[in-house]
Structure 1
């Protein structure tokens, strides 16, 4: 991969990452609920999921998935159901809980493993991500150079872009969050993210295989 090709790859992937989706929504939600540590755990889960996806693409699994509609549909249903589950869970938990005997809302307790696992599943459960990478990455591959090294470079590039973009989203949300009433803002985000997760799940469930 030449430097020029790498620049094109980085710019193209940056353009796709800037578009808000389930991963960005999860980063925003966890940033508001848990602060910077929630952001870090969410990004870490996303990056591990992407490492798995890129590895599968390098092994040719994405092409196999695209050629097997029943497997694609099964994965799509699993991903959609999980997004809907997250949305319903958010809607049911909307409204701050009061600490016993105080009447004040209790702060959410961060469970790094739970947040990491959630981000891992949200990022990896959509089969279209695998197929997208399978179609996207080979366009920038040079057969004159070692393939494994090129996939490593592309993954590190994707990881850097994801970490940067999601950190900017998180920073912006924290600035906005700091200027508003915490209780009302948190409740609004819970309800809004719940509805969006449900909508994204339904969209994934009804989308045709491309």
Structure 2
């Protein structure tokens, strides 16, 4: 498998980017504390496994049969990263209004799992970005499992970090200055990775 380190960087930045899962984790942490956010965090990570499994069921055959598919997905993935970069650059608010979360842990797990399953970011990431880090001649499913496991572990680590810093940093992240700094840095990073992916050869 090529460039595993680059994959970890890209996956971390993707998980870090604001989205429904991040907002839910922050909301759970602020309402129920750090431990109270854990059921939702594990729900999001479990959802990543399920989405990846759905993608793996057909993607492996396509990639093994067509070199053109790799090229196509490479450019689709690059466009996706450029889109995220522009979106992050233009962000005005890092933490939206708090969502209503359930007081029961198992319901928070189901709520987070549902959000991840319905979040197009995860599915698009697995379909468009994963192929760039898998060798066609290697064992596809073993490589895919390693990448998915790494991604899900990053979800747990990053969201736990979000939960821990939620109370202390909420005011700064909600301010125009905080949102501007985080947005610009994230935007530049995603734009750079998008250009890198588009220019890379398989």
After TM superposition, the score normalised by the length of structure 2 is 0.60
Q: State the match for 1:151 in structure 2.
A: 144
Q: State the 1:176 CA deviation.
A: 4.7
8 Å CA contact 2:52, 2:148 repeated in 1 = yes
Q: State the match for 1:169 in structure 2.
A: 162
Q: Which runs of 5 or more residues in structure 1 are unaligned?
A: 64-86, 91-107, 180-210
Q: 1:35 aligns with which of 10, 30, 33?
A: 33
Q: Which moved more, 1:40-49 or 1:140-149?
A: 140-149
Q: State the match for 2:42 in structure 1.
A: 44
8 Å CA contact 1:28, 1:170 repeated in 2 = yes
Q: Which runs of 5 or more residues in structure 2 are unaligned?
A: 63-96, 172-202
Q: State the 1:128 CA deviation.
A: 4.7
Alignment RMSD, CA only?
A: 2.8
State how many pairs are aligned.
Answer: 137
Instruction: Give, in whole Å, the separation in 2 of the partners of 1:11 and 1:88.
Output: 28
Larger Rg: 1
Q: State the 1:175 CA deviation.
A: 3.5
8 Å CA contact 1:17, 1:162 repeated in 2 = yes
8 Å CA contact 2:23, 2:99 repeated in 1 = no
Instruction: Give, in whole Å, the separation in 1 of the partners of 2:133 and 2:47.
Output: 21
